[in-house]
Chains A and B, each alone.
Chain A
Amino acid sequence: MAVTIRIPHLLRELTEGKDALSVDASTAGEALERLEERYPGIRARICRKDASLQGFVNLYVNDEDVRFLDRLNTPLKEGDVLTILPMIAGG
């Protein structure tokens, strides 16, 4: 399934400035694996060592937070958009 991952400004230093990329994945977790293959090191900014999401990073499939779906097992369908939303703190 071709899905789009949106990269937040905070993590673009790891993606050569790219704001989005298209990967083939059938779950949210798989999409993050594809992202890690492309940009090694990025998953450590999003997930804990046990591969669960960090408490200060949210992952949305379209407009829904995966924490209230099936977390990283949330299934994806063709055309879905994954948005990585780490906390931002400026004011």
Chain B
Amino acid sequence: MTVNEIISLAAASGRNLLFEDEAGALLETAGIPVNRCRVARDEEEAVRIAVETGFPVVLKVRSPAIVHKTEAGGVCLNLLDEEAVRRAYREIMEKARLVDQEAQVTVQPMAVPGVEVLIGMTTDPQFGQVIAFGLGGTFVEVLGDITFRLVPLLEKDAKDMIDSIKGSVILKGYRGSMPVDTAALIDIILKVSRLVENNPQIKEIDLNPVLAYPEGALIIDARIVI
């Protein structure tokens, strides 16, 4: 499917927030590396996908009624075997069906740990489309260590974003930890910039976390608003 087709499909069913699998497909179309998730319509399918994917896996609820998945008890991490997947499926669905009879789950591989960063796009009322970059979690939320650039970005802008946050020392290897692949982060930032420039109907993108590794980077959770 093309970016336009994915967006049209969501719009046609009255959703302005894409499902995680839709967001993943959209990002893949733009050449952005995503921890791809697949939709399971029932428990058996969840198990089958988990086996195909390889353990450990993550199960997440998939419902337009549940925006904050973790808070709603809709995320189960690090499921090591078939039995754990079945248990997680039932737990998630029990809670989800209280608010949405049509709720489903997605299955994705459990990613190996890396340095958590955030890459986002917001539509500012004064500037229009703006790209954000910061370290994930508390660095952004509590310390406000985040930096913005106007779309479209040049390569020097993406590089400068990575250098200009206070936490950039962490990305460059701190106390013996390996430096992360900043070229991979720059590549994602530039691809997001191009994606939203070519598709102004995208209002918001929140890739959080993106896991940055010594080689490569991977988007673990993607939220896209149209």
Partners in one complex: no
